[in-house]
Chain A
């Protein structure tokens, strides 16, 4: 086989996971339980081959009648009868025993049919485990070997469905003999996701090339076919990892009067900022200012919202004097809302990656990290891996990103991230706090971390004014100012503010 002589499946997202495709001539076993999408995958493999890669194909069916198969895949827009008329496809209905005999014949009728259209691909649907047509005189494994040899003789890249009755536990303990003989094994699953299910595909083995291991999720989309999403935890290639860093020489404005001063001039380009505070403290307001400032300067901004639907975000923006809809209409802001219920994290990340590549934002707001935590569970690695991937993606594309995170504590904070433990991944941390002074709760902002530059860690008061938005107040220490500015206190974040003696 020539180097990198791949048969591309043409299935969206799958070839990238396969490192370019399936090595030509490989016999691929597609295994999975009922309803996992095996037949659709095989049908698309042949359909894409015939329509996109000039590789005619043969579909061999044992159980489903061709008319039903044709009807079932028509929902994806695949017109198999038309391909048959064009001589790019043949569908043959047969039995396992006849199929097995045919592959042992040098002048097989079946392979003759394949030869007539110059078939390069074959999809066989389906075998039960060790259920090849066998009169009992041979080892079923030998039968499978004979089948593999027959297909190899014709230089067909084959995909063969293997029905698996049991789900993971039992099945994994006893690998099918077919798995040893096949060159490539793909395992499809329906994985429980709370009370929902999620489809996944795993390349268990594939001879002759590198591929992305692990379970990647996929969907079966009407009018299209399969769409495979690389698992978000999968390591990226080294060049992409090396590109993932912020620029410590260029700063961009937060859009909030007074905050840039606390940030020594603004956020570094490509940096990751966490804004932490209880619900209602002003995190989303801060994000809106950030996106609006970008729009004002002609910089593209992505607002990724899980907590609030677009209409609500637009209304919130309008309440502080920001016409976000106009920025969206101008193409400077893109609002991406993905409801957090039953979130499929691989698909979600795939969509973000797509937007970042195509829209090319320089600013991004993610509202909020805590909602990801609720969806994915903070304890497992999924959340951390997702966040790591998101941070790396933004840095790679030099997107200066702000992540809002809800902290449950009303006054002060004993822990910035609680159970989430990802603060080491971020460059900057801004705390928004309520401080109770007398009978009034006043809003405090503190920059507690900023990589690449000195910070004062001074706590300043800020306010959100209807129709105007957020601003950080001046740090005046004049004792004559009422109410007394924060500079007149100590212990603000320790939940026990005390007035400084006058003159200190």
Chain B
């Protein structure tokens, strides 16, 4: 695993691209599923965040040019495509390489949590975990991201 200097360097390079833990976990999901056709609810369930937080993170990633999204107006599903190539490719690969291990992910999430990002406190949208199973609870309908 890379050391903390590497992680800091990666995050410094990230600048305003990542703000929330959910941003990172979404990127990790899309790394494994680079072209995904899902509803917001399904995506939220896969990454175990609430739909509202996922919506905000998607906006962040799309705004940063890391993800594209297309939607058929008649369907609730969106096609998400992780950006490959381009000027961010090397940085993204390095970031996701670090984030691929549990320890690397934890280190990155902690580093993100320590950074003063505009737009709300980290983990704000994280679903509450069941203390016995460690699994996330269901997102409420009120939280749904449209």
Contacts and interface: CB of A to CB of B under 8 A. Distances in A.
A107 interface: yes
B32 A102 contact: no
Contacts of A65: 32-33
Contacts of A423: none
Contacts of A108: 72, 75
Given A66-B33, A93-B33, A102 B75 contact: yes
A85 B79 CA distance: 18
A67 B29 CA distance: 10
B35 A109 contact: no
Interface string A61-90: 000011110000000000000000100001
12 contacts: A66-B35, A91-B34, A92-B35, A92-B37, A93-B35, A94-B77, A102-B37, A109-B37, A109-B71, A109-B75, A109-B77, A109-B78
B39 interface: yes
A184 B63 CA distance: 46
A421 to B, nearest CB: 59
A94 B37 contact: yes
Interface in A92-140: 92-95, 98-99, 101-102, 105, 107-110, 113
B75 A66 contact: no
B97 to A, nearest CB: 13
Contacts of B31: 67
Nearest to B84: A85
Contacts of B33: 65-67, 93
B35 A91 contact: yes
A384 B42 CA distance: 57
Contacts of A67: 31-33
Interface in B52-82: 70-72, 74-79
A91 B70 CA distance: 16
B77 A101 contact: yes
Nearest to A58: B35
B36 interface: yes
Q: Is the interface of B mostly helix, strand, loop or mixed?
A: mixed
Nearest to B36: A93
A71 to B, nearest CB: 10
A460 to B, nearest CB: 77
B74 A109 contact: no
A35 to B, nearest CB: 23
B78 to A, nearest CB: 8
Q: Which 6 A-B pairs have the closest CB atoms?
A: A94-B37, A93-B33, A67-B32, A98-B77, A65-B32, A93-B36
A68 B33 CA distance: 10
A66 B34 contact: yes
B79 A109 contact: yes
A164 to B, nearest CB: 26
Nearest to A59: B35
A243 to B, nearest CB: 53
B144 interface: no
Given A66-B33, A98-B38, A113-B79, 17 more contacts: A65-B32, A65-B33, A67-B32, A68-B32, A91-B34, A91-B35, A92-B35, A92-B36, A93-B35, A94-B38, A98-B75, A105-B72, A108-B72, A109-B37, A109-B75, A109-B79, A110-B79
A95 B38 contact: yes
Contact of A107 (B37, B39, B72, B76): B72
A109 B36 CA distance: 11
B34 A98 contact: no
Contacts of A85: 84
A90 B33 CA distance: 12
A110 B35 contact: no
B32 A110 contact: no
Contact of B70 (A90, A94, A102, A109): A109
Given A67-B31, A102-B77, A109-B77, A94 B72 contact: no
Interface in A423-475: none
Contacts of B36: 92-94
B24 to A, nearest CB: 17
A261 B85 CA distance: 80
B35 A90 contact: yes
Interface string B28-52: 0001111111110010000000000
A101 B75 contact: yes
Contacts of B39: 98
A379 to B, nearest CB: 53
Nearest to A90: B35
B75 A93 contact: no
A90 to B, nearest CB: 6
A91 to B, nearest CB: 6
B86 to A, nearest CB: 13
Nearest to B79: A109
Nearest to B37: A94
A396 to B, nearest CB: 51
Contacts of A110: 37, 79
Contacts of B84: 85
Nearest to B74: A105
A490 B3 CA distance: 96
B79 to A, nearest CB: 5
A350 to B, nearest CB: 39
Nearest to A94: B37
B80 to A, nearest CB: 9
Contacts of A95: 38, 42
Given A98-B42, A113-B79, A93 B74 contact: no
B73 to A, nearest CB: 9
Nearest to B80: A93
A380 B57 CA distance: 66
Nearest to A106: B74
Contacts of A66: 32-35
A57 to B, nearest CB: 14
